[in-house]
Copies of this chain bind each other. A is one copy, B any other.
Amino acid sequence: MNKVAVIMGSTSDLPVMQDAIDILKEFNIEVVVDIVSAHRTPEKLFDFSKNARANGIDVIIAGAGGAAHLPGMVASLSPLPVIGVPVKSSNSIDGWDSVLSILQMPGGVPVATVALNGAKNAGILAAQIIGVSNETVYNAIVEYKEGLKTKVIASSKNL
């Protein structure tokens, strides 16, 4: 069975990152959740990243705020696809810090970045990645997208 890890730098990121966990569960994808801080638990960062593949993880979603180094460092240490979620923390400079420190990775080490606080999209993207080789998940995404459409059309009828 496919498995996605959702990690974040601090429990204060959980309210944002929960959206990723919820949508992955909706797609019936196994999720492991952990707190891994690049700046306060660098050894755990190493262990987690080096062993992710062996632990059956297919995709890693990492959320962090401010000078957000977690997604990029995981991408440095693991060959798995890493999705970065810029979290708008308190004392952030309007979110620009998290966005730029996740997005602007150097050539050779990509992080798949989603919108500021866009954890839900990180979950969907992880599902799409799994859907490349998993027909059930692929079909769930097709259905999910149909659902989005239906809701918009319904909402326009209530205008």
Interface residues, chain A, with chain B CB atoms under 8 Å away? 9-11, 14, 19, 33-44, 46, 58-59, 65-69, 72-73, 75-77, 79-81, 83, 88-89, 91-97, 99-118, 120-122, 124-125, 128-134, 138, 141-142, 144-145, 148-149, 151-153, 155-156, 158-159
Contacts and interface: CB of A to CB of B under 8 A. Distances in A.
B131 A129 contact: no
Contact of A105 (B34, B39, B109): B39
Nearest to A157: B35
B35 A156 contact: yes
A136 B136 CA distance: 23
A40 B132 contact: no
A95 B91 CA distance: 9
A156 to B, nearest CB: 4
A14 B146 CA distance: 23
A67 B124 contact: no
Contacts of A113: 103, 112-114
21 contacts: A10-B106, A36-B156, A37-B148, A38-B72, A42-B46, A42-B76, A66-B106, A67-B72, A67-B102, A67-B111, A69-B72, A69-B76, A80-B132, A81-B131, A91-B116, A93-B99, A101-B101, A103-B114, A104-B116, A108-B144, A109-B124
A36 B153 CA distance: 8
Nearest to A105: B67
Nearest to A121: B110
A77 B110 contact: no
